[in-house]
Structure 1
Amino acid sequence: MPSNATSRTAETAANGGAGKAVLRFLAANKSLVGLILLMAVVSLFSPNFLTVDNLLNILRQTSINAIIAMGMTFVILTAGIDLSVGSVLAFTGAVCASLVAADASLWVALPATLALGAALGAANGVVIAIGGVQPFIATLVGMTVLRGATLVYTDGRPITTMSDPFWAIGGEYVFGIPVPVLIAAFAFIVCWFVLSQMRFGRYVYAVGGNEQVTRLAGISVTRVKIAVYAVSGLMAALAGIILTARLESAQPTAGTAYELDAIAAVVLGGTSLMGGRGYIFGTLIGALIIGVLNNALNLMDVSSYYQMIAKGAVILLAVLVDSRGKTNR
């Protein structure tokens, strides 16, 4: 009898340990659980949702926001914010389109566009890190100035590109997978490697966790801040290239409000707006949540006005859940 009781006690403890492990996993992956539940609910209301074509369409539509959000993750991990990414996308897309329209080689046009995006982002970082301007104000100014610069550069008119190789970046498929999805996947791998495996990634988390301690440890907080904004600008430029290629033109109003979707993806993915806590995989899941939500509302013929309300409600719910989780800890 004692042996049986001991066995039952051990079994109960094992089950309890397994239960706690499951709860810990669910708590650590709230965004992933939310995405799975959202997809399950949508599939009940729309039989066309889980078709291969529709899922590939979601991935293609999500790829641009995911790329911008990955760059935004670097910034938010340092307790910053970048409101200029939509304008950077528009301006760099216009420059890229003009280069392609002038028959410049893609080996020149694409690196030049990416370098321009990184330079514009770094300029924000200089104003913030060296000028001492708050990130919200600095990037708000950058957003306004670059939007105006785009309108001046394009004279308020689209710049059309007529290049099949360039179009392939945004509209071609490889083994049945849209090229933008493959580019986003590659960008994710690079960002994950930088944040989780490289010294720079540890510096990013350190600056967001405690800037003063990081500075006392001999780490150049100024360089880290300039670098993360450069990364954000680079990723926005990459998204601008993809969008311009897909549309075969650069629209002067492109990227409007894209910064909001990018910030939303980062927050939905569990990255703290206070900095120092978050991970790039969560950002990818957050972008997918927004993409699935947009697609689901379109499939159900929900008005675009109500879509904005629904998106705002989901983001608010995610922030409240995250805040409550911090309080409980």
Structure 2
Amino acid sequence: MKSSLERQPNRWKLVLINNAIYIVMALLILLIVIFEPRFVSVNVFRNILVQSSVRLILAFGVAGIIVLQGTDLSLGRTVGMAAVISASLLQQPDYLARFFPNLPILPLIVPMLVAMIVCAIFSAINGLVHAIYKVHPFIVTMGSQVVIYGVLSIYFASQPHGAQPIGSLDARYSKFVNGSTFYVPHLVFYAVVVTILMWFLWNKTKFGRNMYAVGGNSEAAHVSGVNVISTIFWVYVLGGLLYGFGGFLEAARIGSATNSTGFGYELDAIAACVVGGISFSGGVGKISGAVVGVLLFTVITYGMIFLGLDVFYQYIIKGVIIVAAVAFDTQKYLKKI
């Protein structure tokens, strides 16, 4: 029988393993503050919240798939598709180079729903191929990523005036996304609403319970009466809907859209989820973890930009954080078995 003193080192080692990525990121934030004290300000905090908003919505989409022991490499291109669709349907009526010259003025909800439905269809196909044919999500979404980019590029290049950034967006659209009410940015409000809905869905519904059950052990879930194929399908559909909504917001946030919009977004979303404790081992993760992961990752990214760090170094640091997060997550999982 080990004494409390003998168990103490192992306890501290376990604490370090479980929180190592947070400690590393806290040190990075501390370094940013030391080198650039102006980073600690209300305006910077507000900008971080705005930049985190769309990323958080996208992270929720892929988080459910990670809980199922999967991943989604098509996220970025799917977001780009939603952005291009939304922008093409919501340009200013008097803009001479409109994507659809004779298109009447549409209610904002119509392009938003079109973008979300199109994205949900592609994500549903990913889910069905994975669930029915047992193809690994990495392979499925890697293939669909290429397909979506091809479809998106064909659509983008079909403009009457040739392939060019889709800008001059409808003022209603820009205000809906980039406006503020009582100094609260609309983007932050939308992110909060989606966060509440996702928390309820994950924690208070049969869908959420089934998702965790399938992610933890799909065979045991099946024996318990859970429809595994249906659960996987709807998790992917939900992801597609969130990508579509995120892409709709992103086009207006940026002010334009091209077939390159969304490139690399999947890396940030997946990294944020893993940093927030949503494990690739399956069946583990919380909405609060995704929120923390996105905020931490955005602070690091924004801090590097604030310091004027070259974009190539930013890629290196992001890559290291992703690998480290997965490595520490694996260590936590191994300690439990």
From 105, 108, 129, the counterpart of 2:107: 105
Alignment of 1:10-159 (within 5 A): 38-101=28-91, 102=103, 103-155=105-157, 156-159=163-166
Q: CA deviation at 1:63?
A: 1.8
Partner residue, 1:326? 333
Partner residue, 1:6? none
Give the residue type in structure 2 aligned to 1:49: F
Give the residue type in structure 2 aligned to 1:79: Q
Q: What does the per-residue CA deviation read over 1:232-269, in whole Å, with 9 as the maximum and x for residues that have no partner?
A: 11111111111111233221110111111111111111
Alignment of 1:194-209 (within 5 A): 194-209=201-216
Partner residue, 1:170? 177
Q: Is the 8 A contact 1:170 1:244 kept in 2?
A: no
Q: CA deviation at 1:169?
A: 3.1
Q: What does the per-residue CA deviation read over 1:261-304, in whole Å, with 9 as the maximum and x for residues that have no partner?
A: 11111111111112111112111111112111111112222211
Q: CA deviation at 1:160?
A: 2.4
Q: Is the 8 A contact 1:81 1:136 kept in 2?
A: yes
2:187 aligned with 1:180:
yes
2:286 aligned with 1:297:
no
Q: What does the per-residue CA deviation read over 1:204-223, in whole Å, with 9 as the maximum and x for residues that have no partner?
A: 01001100111111111001
SS of aligned partner of 2:39 = coil
- From the superposition, tell whether residues 282 and 23 of structure 1 become closer, same or farther in structure 2 (CA, over 3 Å): farther
Partners of 2:17 and 2:181 lie apart in 1 by: 36
- Stretches of structure 1 that go unaligned for 5 or more consecutive residues are 1-12, 14-20
Partners of 2:45 and 2:185 lie apart in 1 by: 11
Q: What does the per-residue CA deviation read over 1:124-170, in whole Å, with 9 as the maximum and x for residues that have no partner?
A: 11221123322111111111111111110010422224311101233
SS of aligned partner of 1:218 = coil
Give the residue type in structure 2 aligned to 1:296: G
SS of aligned partner of 1:110 = helix
From 275, 280, 293, the counterpart of 1:286: 293
Partner residue, 2:275? 268
Q: CA deviation at 1:315?
A: 2.5
Higher helix share goes to which structure? Answer: 1
Q: What does the per-residue CA deviation read over 1:17-69, in whole Å, with 9 as the maximum and x for residues that have no partner?
A: xxxx9999998777666665544443222111111111111121222222111
Partners of 1:170 and 1:32 lie apart in 2 by: 31
Q: Give the TM-score of the pair, scaled to structure 2.
A: 0.85
From 236, 240, 245, the counterpart of 1:238: 245
Q: Is the 8 A contact 2:77 2:149 kept in 1?
A: yes
Moved more, 219-228 or 313-322: 313-322
Give the residue type in structure 1 aligned to 2:115: T
Q: Is the 8 A contact 1:31 1:282 kept in 2?
A: no
Q: CA deviation at 1:317?
A: 2.6
2:334 aligned with 1:311:
no
Identity across matched positions, percent: 33
Partner residue, 1:247? 254
Partners of 1:70 and 1:80 lie apart in 2 by: 14
- From the superposition, tell whether residues 327 and 139 of structure 1 become closer, same or farther in structure 2 (CA, over 3 Å): closer
Partners of 1:185 and 1:28 lie apart in 2 by: 27
Give the residue type in structure 1 aligned to 2:155: Y
Q: Cα RMSD over matched residues?
A: 2.5
SS of aligned partner of 2:40 = coil
Q: CA deviation at 1:119?
A: 2.0
- From the superposition, tell whether residues 239 and 107 of structure 1 become closer, same or farther in structure 2 (CA, over 3 Å): closer
